[in-house]
Chain A
Amino acid sequence: MRSITELLHDSPFFAGLPDPVLEQLAGCARTARFAEGQMLFSAGQPANDFYLVRHGRVAIELHNPSRGTITLDTVHDGDVVGWSWLVPPYLWTFDARAAADTSAVEFDGACLRGKCDADPALGYALMRRVSHVMYERLQAARVQMLDMYGAPM
C-alpha cells in the first residue's frame, strides 16, 4: 500500500513540491473511497475538505428548481475538487457527486489552512497551484457560458 506522500508525489497538481512539503500536506490527508452516486459534498454544507481524485469521476452539479439538476463540470483522475475550504464562510456552493466509483485523497481544509498560515512559503506554493486550477475552471466556465454550439442568433 502506497503512502499518501507517494500518492501526492505522483499527482500533477502537486508536481514540483519537495518531499518534506508533501509530507506536511500528507499530515492533513487521508485516503477515501466514494461509491457511484455518493456525495462528496453538498451545497450549503460546511466546506471542510479538499479532494485529489486518484481514480474515478466526480460530477459538479447545481440544482435549479426550474431546470432540475445540471452537471456543470466533471473532474477525473489527477484533478482536484473543492475551493470553498479556502474562502469564508467556508460553505460549499455546488454539489459534488461521485459519477463513478471514485478513490481520492481527502484533505482536512482547516488543517491545511493552519499549516499555510504557519508557513507562508507552503501557503504560497499551494495557493499558486490552487489559483492555476481555479483559473482554468473559470476559463472553462466562461466558455460554457458562450453556448458556442447553440443556434445562431
Chain B
Amino acid sequence: MTAATTQQPPVSRDPMVPRPFRVVASHLDTDDTVTLSLEPMGSDPLVFAPGQFTMLHAFGVGEVPISICGDPTRPDPLMHTIRDVGNVTHALVSAEVGAVVGVRGPYGTGWRPGDGVGGDLLMVAGGIGLAPLRPALLEVASRRDEYDRVVLLYGARSPADILFEDDLRRWADECRIEVAVTVDYAPPEWDGRVGPVTTLVGRAGFDPPRTLALVCGPEIMMTLTANALLGRGVAPHRMRLSMERNMKCGAGLCGHCQLREFFLCVDGPVLPYSQLAPLLDVREL
C-alpha cells in the first residue's frame, strides 16, 4: 500500500485534478475512524456549504468521496472524518501530519439548515453520519437564536463508537441543543440509552408541523427514521436525507452515482424525502 506523499504536486486549474492539501492534524476518533485537518498548499481555502463533500485523493492509491465535517465559517483547516473501510480510506486515515493528499470539490447539495429558521430543527444521525451533519450543527449553534427547538438524535454502534463527544457535550451545555445519544449495544457500565436511534424519534421534543428534519446515516437507518418522522407528522418535503452512492467524477458526468433520475454527486447527496421516497424501496436502484 502506498502511503500519502509528503511532496507537493503542482496546483492545477483543472477542476478534475486534485488540489494538494497538507495534513496539519490527525485525530483518532475511534479505533477505525480518524479526523484529518487539511491546509491548502498554494491555493485558497476551500469554501463549502454544510452537507457538501469532496473527493479525497490518496496519491498512488485512489480517490473517495468524503463529507466535509468542519466549520463552514472557518474553512481552513478543511476537516474530514474518515472511517477505515477500504484501501483508499486506509491510506487516508494512515496519513501522518505533513503528508499531502489531494482534494477535489466541494461537490453536491447541502443541508441548508437555514430553511428551518423560525421553527424547530431536528437532526438525526447514525454512526459516522454525524460527521456530515457536524457543519450544519456548527452553523446552527452560531445562529442559535434564529431557531426554536434544536434537537440532535444520535445513534452509534456502541459507546466506543461515539464520535465528537466534546462537541456533543458543548452543544448540549452551551448551545441549547437537545442532544440524545443511544447505542445499539453496550456493556453494563454504560450509563446512557441502549436501542436504535429510531426509538428516540417518538419522544423527541419538536413540533412536527414546524420542523425541518435532517437525517444522515446508513440508508436503512434513514428509511426507518423517515417512517418514524412520518408517524410524528413531519411532512416528507421537510425531511432531508444524505444519500450515498458510488461517487466518482463528482461533476455529474460519469453516472456512477446515478439513482434513477438523480446524479447524486450534483443533484444530491442531500435530497428531500419527498423525492427519495419512491426510490428507496426499489431494490434495483
- Interface residues as binary, B174-205 with A (CB distance below 8 Å gives 1, 0 otherwise): 00000000001111101111111011000000
B221 at the interface (CB under 8 A from A): yes
B199 touching A136, Cβ below 8 Å = yes
A146 touching B157, Cβ below 8 Å = no
| Those 9 A-B pairs whose CB atoms lie nearest each other, nearest first | A149-B127, A149-B157, A143-B196, A71-B186, A74-B194, A148-B218, A71-B194, A144-B184, A69-B188
A68 at the interface (CB under 8 A from B): yes
> Measured between C-beta atoms, what is the minimum distance from B107 to chain A in Å?
22
Given the known interface contacts A149-B127, A151-B85, the answer about A144 and B195 at a Cβ–Cβ threshold of 8 Å is yes
A-B contact pairs, 24 of them (CB 8 A): A60-B194, A68-B187, A70-B186, A71-B185, A71-B186, A71-B194, A74-B193, A76-B193, A97-B188, A99-B191, A100-B191, A139-B198, A140-B198, A143-B196, A143-B198, A143-B224, A144-B185, A147-B157, A148-B126, A149-B126, A149-B155, A149-B156, A149-B218, A151-B85
Nearest to B32 among chain A residues (CB) is A151
Report the contact-size class of chain B (Cβ under 8 Å from the partner).
20 to 34
A148 touching B221, Cβ below 8 Å = yes
> Measured between C-beta atoms, what is the minimum distance from B244 to chain A in Å?
11
- A residues within 8 A CB of B157? 147-150
- B residues within 8 A CB of A71? 185-188, 190, 194
> Measured between C-beta atoms, what is the minimum distance from A8 to chain B in Å?
19
Nearest to A36 among chain B residues (CB) is B191
- B residues within 8 A CB of A76? 193
Residues of B at under 8 Å CB distance from A? Answer: 32, 85, 126-128, 155-157, 161, 184-188, 190-196, 198-199, 217-218, 220-221, 224
Supplied contacts A61-B188, A144-B185, A146-B220, 9 more A-B pairs, CB within 8 Å: A68-B187, A70-B187, A71-B186, A72-B185, A74-B193, A76-B193, A144-B196, A148-B184, A149-B218
- B residues within 8 A CB of A150? 157
* Alpha-carbon gap, A19 to B32, bound state (A): 54
- B residues within 8 A CB of A152? 85
Nearest to B127 among chain A residues (CB) is A149
B156 touching A73, Cβ below 8 Å = no
* Alpha-carbon gap, A88 to B227, bound state (A): 34
* Alpha-carbon gap, A73 to B220, bound state (A): 20
- A residues within 8 A CB of B192? 74
- B residues within 8 A CB of A146? 220
- Interface residues as binary, A112-153 with B (CB distance below 8 Å gives 1, 0 otherwise): 000000000000000000000000100110011011111110
- A residues within 8 A CB of B185? 70-72, 144
A59 at the interface (CB under 8 A from B): yes
Nearest to B156 among chain A residues (CB) is A149
